Amino acid sequence: MSNIQRLEKFLSLFSKENKVLIIINADPDAMASAMAVKRLLWRKVGSAVITYFNEISRPDNLTMIRVLDLEMIHIDEVDERAFDRFVVVDSQPDHHECFAMFRYDAIIDHHPLSCDSGIFNDIRPEYGACSSMMTEYLKAAGVKPSQKLATALLMGIKTDTGGFLRQTAMEDVRAFQHLYKFANTCVMARIEQAEFKERDLEFIGNAIKQKKIINHRVYAHTGFIENPDQCVIVADFFMRIDSANWSIISGVYDGKLVIIMRNDGLRKSAGNTAKEAFSHLGSAGGHRTMARVEIQMPELEKEVPDEKEIGQWVIDQVEKYAGIKFE
């Protein structure tokens, strides 16, 4: 299917009377993609609103929202009865229980296929970022992105591809090249250079104390956490250790065990390892170099009744499925 055909099929779902809710798990790629959907629907629907369900605490995400003046509302403030069309971008309905609240008209995502229950499904796991897909929609529609939208989409591509060091397709590169001439690179630099909060530094310090290195894989179970983004920060930080090929950081948040995985992409896929090791208990998946797992504590307790053993259980599961061992 060509990009123009995809665009036409997507737009055919909507009319002037529709009130559209765009649902995301807010991160740079998801926020930018939602902005692009909203731009595509401008003057084609009655209204379009972006909503998110996660707590946003990472300094770079907060800076992006502030400097680009992104308009979003938390899902707790949403009356779903006020909307008659529902779109999810950069995720799929089974990725989180909050997504399951809605019946989707459109699903646009670059993660491996797990749920294609929408009337319109565009799922392309070969892409490094959903923002690249949305850039193609904008080009097909003949839309010149505003500086704000282009900057957001560039951030989405750069973040999810790790500056083109993670999984990347030529389409990601072409999208980046197209957007670059419209974006504000000074604003991008400001977002990327957002400082750590003091509590993030304290969290990293605690994770360093808890860390274990086994077969070039760095593990840390951090106990009860304020926000899963803290595990993401530590997982990225530990990948800077010269001997580390993987980092696996876990913590308990809102009644769930959250596991964040990173690796160098040279060996077994983090996403596949997450599925093999943890999908029998909860949601698990991702890409070659990054993955996420969420397990409800009642399910986890069936295998790990003592919470003091969670960290060792995570190690045992990953070591069983992560592949090559190193001496």
pLDDT of 167 = 75
> Which pLDDT does position 26 carry in this prediction?
93
Q: What are phi and psi of 326, to 5 degrees?
A: -120, 140
Task: At 236, give phi and psi (nearest 5°).
Answer: -65, -40
Low-confidence ranges of the chain (pLDDT < 70): 195, 324-327
DSSP string, 292-310: EEEEEHHHHHHH--SGGGH
Single-letter amino acid code for the residue at 10: F
Secondary structure letter of residue 26 according to DSSP:
-
The predicted model scores a pTM of 0.72
Cα–Cα distance for residue pair 161/127, rounded to 1 Å: 9
First to last CA, the chain: 48
Alpha-carbon gap, residue 10 to 53, rounded angstroms: 24
Closest CA to 37 of 161, 159, 122, 160: 122
Q: Which domains does the chain have, with CATH numbers?
A: 3-192 (3.90.1640.10), 198-321 (3.10.310.30)
Tabulate helix, strand, coil % of the chain (nearest 5): 40, 20, 40
Dump pLDDT digits (tens) for 170-200.
Answer: 999 999 999 999 999 999 998 887 767 778 8
Which residue carries 């750069």 as its tokens? 158
What pLDDT score was predicted for residue 264? 87
Nearest 5°: the CA angle 70, 72, 77 is: 160
Phi/psi region, residue 190 (left: phi>0; alpha: psi -120 to 50; beta: rest), is alpha
